Structure 1
Amino acid sequence: MTKFEDLTIQNNFLFQQVMRNPRICKRLIEELLNIKIAELSYPYAEKTIQTGVDNRGIRLDIIVADENRTHYNLEMQVKNNKSAETGEPLLPKRTRYYQASLDMDLLGKGQNFDKLNDTYIIFICAFDLFNEGRYVYTFKNKCLESPNLAMGNGATVVFVNSLGSKGDISPMAKNFLAYVNNQTVSDGFTEEVDAAVTALKRDSETRRQYMLLEMALHDERMEGRREGRMEGRSEERAARNRDIALDMLKDQYTLAQILKLSRLSKEEIYALAQANNLQVIE
């Protein structure tokens, strides 16, 4: 757990709190995406900072919409988590879950799909996810056989690399990414962001929310470890029971005796016998 006093804009909780300032959030989106927004709103104000535990764990969301009802979902990402099985980054697949969650919020029950708004999922990363040195990686669904043919489903995913050096982004965007890396204040925008960070770190209610979030995260981790230990012990018991049953089958114990001592079911014993070319004595 990072001490509240040591938080920087790289901490997603603090980033989300800063982005609740519509002027800062609007300017950042405009600079990163090279667009102009007339007006920004928070259509899910109560969901802007979600510190509850749901079926996929804890998520911090900042969701805003412009005058055209295009929705933007922003998050700060510091660690490039990878799959234990494949070693591949998990962030690209997380975008599928985020997009599905966002679409569920946008589409009311019984509404047609054409009511889905255009969306941007924006991850500001303190690492280069794709190792090409670009400031920005923008993804839209396109046809492989005809690269100029876009699906046109209105969904865009943007990965912003704070360590980038390639690509054409505005000086203000570059200054903000430098601020993400080392808290360097170099223009009016980063000065405003830094002032917001300082004010939030002096706010007792923000401190309380952070502590509640950290406690929820801690409880979730502890529950996961407890379930993992229970699952591990259950697997150990099952393996031990199979070993007992196998030894008894080899020693030609009866089915009733094996059932009593191994605690396996009749079906499991027959399957074990078949797999090891052994006979079950009724």
Structure 2
Amino acid sequence: MTTKFEDLTIQNNFLFQHVMKNERICKLLIEELLNIKIAKLTYHHTEETIENSVDSRGIRLDVIVADENHTHYNLEMQVENRKSKDTGEPLLPKRTRYYQSSLDMDLLSKGQDFDKLNPTYIIFICAFDLFNQGRYVYTFKNRCLENLDLELNNGATVTIINSLGTKGNISPRAKSFLEYVNDKIVRDAFTQEIADEVTRLKRSSAVRRQYMLLEMKLHDARMDGREEGLAEGFAAGVLEAEAKERQSTALEMLKDKEPLTKIVKYSRLSEEEIYALAQANGLTVIE
């Protein structure tokens, strides 16, 4: 397992999601981070969904809550700034797009028309500064590039919280929470309440079993991906070896001045491939 259950902190998304099942803590945290007031929260769903997907897109740990105005909030803790293997760009921005579409589909599946889509907030609490600007909060809404004062007003907001921030105005309670994320030090009554909830959860045998089950599922998903990758690698290696063997056969037959039709038959290369091979090696194809 990546982390022992006893060593989990609020930075671990599994533990964070369980802490957020405490309605009072979840409500206060959203209020402080977004600088809003909420009368009451309703849990849309709190789930751990694991699918054996090699690219891990099926692995999600979500807390989705709604307030009295039916605004929906999706919260997640993010510790690692993962980047694309192809481009080196951070994956989190596109992950927010995926989460937004998933949340919208959940709402639409309940029979709502497009004009009835509720306002949504995707909130990622990050233990790193995604944009390297030192801000506590980065808030994104869809705006017109030609006129930044013109908002699309589609009700979708993405909020990236930077626990390492130093710039911007946030409440003392929000600041103490972010510092608690960083160093686990209790600084006020709110972080004490969170720390007490963490202690209670870590004493729960039921929560421990859930974590063990989650880790096993994650391990199985990784192993399935590894085995699939090995199988694909083996298949690619076989194909590469076969291609080299065909080229070697054709090359020897070209050197022996065998006719093209015979080389095609025994090497199983196309005429175009044989001509290219001959040209690359300064040989002549005998028609």
- Could you state the TM-score of these two structures normalised by the residue count of structure 1? 0.90
Q: Deviations over 1:75-96 (max 9, x none)?
A: 0001111112221111111111
The Cα shift of 1:255 comes to 3.2
Percent identity of equivalent pairs: 63
1:142 maps to 2:143? yes
Task: Name which of 261, 264, 281 aligns with 1:255.
Answer: 264
Specify the alignment match of 2:257 in structure 1.
none
Specify the alignment match of 1:159 in structure 2.
160
Q: What is the DSSP-based 3-state SS (H/G/I as helix, E as strand, rest coil) of the residue aligned with 2:66?
A: strand
Specify the alignment match of 1:207 in structure 2.
208
Q: What is the DSSP-based 3-state SS (H/G/I as helix, E as strand, rest coil) of the residue aligned with 2:60?
A: coil
The Cα shift of 1:277 comes to 6.3
C-alpha separation in 2, matches of 1:68 and 1:41 = 11
Answer whether contact 1:123 1:159 (CA < 8 A) is retained. Answer: yes
Specify the alignment match of 1:133 in structure 2.
134
Specify the alignment match of 1:108 in structure 2.
109
The Cα shift of 1:240 comes to 1.3
Q: Deviations over 1:146-178 (max 9, x none)?
A: 000011111111110111010000000000001
Q: Deviations over 1:217-244 (max 9, x none)?
A: 1111111111111111111111111112
Write out aligned runs for 1:176-187 (5 A).
Answer: 176-187=177-188
C-alpha separation in 2, matches of 1:179 and 1:234 = 49
C-alpha separation in 2, matches of 1:80 and 1:230 = 29
Q: What is the DSSP-based 3-state SS (H/G/I as helix, E as strand, rest coil) of the residue aligned with 2:200?
A: helix
Specify the alignment match of 1:188 in structure 2.
189
Answer whether contact 1:62 1:75 (CA < 8 A) is retained. Answer: yes
Answer whether contact 1:255 1:280 (CA < 8 A) is retained. Answer: no
Specify the alignment match of 2:73 in structure 1.
72
Specify the alignment match of 2:227 in structure 1.
226
- Structure 1, 150-159 or 82-91: larger mean CA deviation: 82-91
C-alpha separation in 1, matches of 2:211 and 2:125 = 20
Structure 1 unpaired stretches of 5+ = 260-267
C-alpha separation in 2, matches of 1:62 and 1:160 = 16
C-alpha separation in 2, matches of 1:280 and 1:109 = 68
Runs of 4 or more consecutive aligned structure 1 residues displaced over 3 Å after TM superposition = 252-256, 268-282
C-alpha separation in 1, matches of 2:149 and 2:88 = 32
Specify the alignment match of 2:246 in structure 1.
245
Residue identity opposite 2:168 in structure 1: G
Specify the alignment match of 1:50 in structure 2.
48
The Cα shift of 1:281 comes to 9.1
Q: What is the DSSP-based 3-state SS (H/G/I as helix, E as strand, rest coil) of the residue aligned with 1:122?
A: strand
1:5 maps to 2:3? no
C-alpha separation in 1, matches of 2:14 and 2:132 = 26
Residue identity opposite 1:255 in structure 2: V
Relative distance call for 1:274 and 1:24 in structure 2 (3 A) is farther
Q: What is the DSSP-based 3-state SS (H/G/I as helix, E as strand, rest coil) of the residue aligned with 2:125?
A: strand
Q: What is the DSSP-based 3-state SS (H/G/I as helix, E as strand, rest coil) of the residue aligned with 2:48?
A: coil
C-alpha separation in 1, matches of 2:5 and 2:67 = 32
C-alpha separation in 1, matches of 2:115 and 2:276 = 54
1:97 maps to 2:98? yes
Relative distance call for 1:156 and 1:273 in structure 2 (3 A) is farther
The Cα shift of 1:108 comes to 2.2
The Cα shift of 1:272 comes to 3.3
Residue identity opposite 1:142 in structure 2: R
Q: What is the DSSP-based 3-state SS (H/G/I as helix, E as strand, rest coil) of the residue aligned with 2:121?
A: strand
C-alpha separation in 1, matches of 2:33 and 2:265 = 71
Specify the alignment match of 1:264 in structure 2.
none
Residue identity opposite 2:93 in structure 1: P
The Cα shift of 1:256 comes to 3.3
Answer whether contact 1:141 1:151 (CA < 8 A) is retained. Answer: yes
Relative distance call for 1:281 and 1:205 in structure 2 (3 A) is farther
1:34 maps to 2:43? no
Answer whether contact 1:8 1:14 (CA < 8 A) is retained. Answer: yes
Q: What is the DSSP-based 3-state SS (H/G/I as helix, E as strand, rest coil) of the residue aligned with 1:105?
A: helix
